[in-house]
């Protein structure tokens, strides 16, 4: 969303993304008097392993490997907490979860999702929100949450000729 965010640039140092996300989460939890417990931290780390949204059930094996209970409620509870804190977003059209690069302030999330490589990049939705607010105001509707999920082809997949029909 900011200039320094990697977007769809595939050659960034992703270990840095992960380390940064974990550190931010720790800091925010401390100031918010919330607990980033081991299982929550692990789920956050797993969600951040790459920029592709992960389904809840894809996380369970790794939880089992780490010695945690790996029944669905465990991962869903962790994901619920992480969402409440703004550390991850749920992508409804994929039933999947992805790390948020800017959890320090709550925001309306929007995503560009590549149908080929499956990466999802969070979008600055300022202008989209303005447009939505106007439309909603016309109808007298009071916005509380927005979900914007755009599917298409990322720059890498366009140039690599992956633009065959889905």
Partner DNA sequence: GATCATTATGTTATACTATAACAATCACTT
Partner DNA sequence: AAGTGATTGTTATAGTATAACATAATGATC
Q: Say if residue 157 carries a ligand binding annotation.
A: yes
Q: What are phi and psi of 113, to 5 degrees?
A: -120, 120
* Residues ≥6 apart with Cβ < 8 Å to 165: none
* Residue 154 in contact with its own copies, rule: CB under 8 A: yes
For the window 51-90, what string marks contact with DNA as x by the rule CB under 7 A?
----xxx----------xx-xxxx-xxx-xx--------x
Q: How far is CA 121 from the centre of its chain?
A: 8
Question: Which residue lies nearer to Zn ion by CB, 7 or 60?
Answer: 7
Q: Is 29 one of the annotated binding-site residues?
A: no
Tokens read off for 131: 């447009």
Binding site for Zn ion (CB under 5 A): 14, 17, 114, 116-117, 154, 157
CB of 148 to DNA, least distance (A): 18
CA 79 to chain CA mean position, Å: 11
DSSP-assigned beta bridge partners for residue 113: 120, 151
Tell me: does residue 31 bind DNA (CB under 7 A): no
Please indicate if the annotation marks 17 as binding a ligand. Answer: no
**How many Å apart are CA 89 and CA 120, to the nearest integer?**
11
The token duo for 83 is 């969402």
Binding site for its own copies (CB under 8 A): 7-8, 92-93, 110, 112, 114-115, 121, 123-125, 127-128, 130-132, 134-136, 139-155, 158, 163, 166
């Amino acid at each position: 969303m900011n200039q320094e965010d990697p977007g769809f640039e595939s050659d960034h140092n992703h270990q840095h993304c992960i380390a940064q996300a974990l550190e931010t989460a720790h800091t925010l939890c401390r100031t918010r008097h919330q607990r980033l417990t081991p299982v929550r931290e692990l789920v956050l780390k797993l969600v951040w392993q790459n920029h592709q949204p992960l389904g809840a059930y894809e996380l369970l094996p790794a939880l089992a490997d780490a010695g945690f209970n790996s029944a669905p409620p465990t991962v869903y509870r962790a994901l619920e907490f992480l969402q409440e804190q703004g550390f991850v977003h749920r992508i409804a059209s994929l039933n999947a979860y992805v790390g948020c690069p800017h959890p320090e302030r709550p925001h309306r999330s929007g995503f560009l999702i590549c149908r080929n490589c499956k990466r999802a990049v969070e979008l600055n939705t300022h202008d989209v929100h303005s447009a939505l607010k106007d439309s909603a105001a016309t109808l007298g509707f009071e916005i509380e949450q927005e979900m914007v999920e755009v599917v298409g082809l990322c720059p890498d997949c366009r140039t690599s000729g992956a633009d065959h029909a889905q």
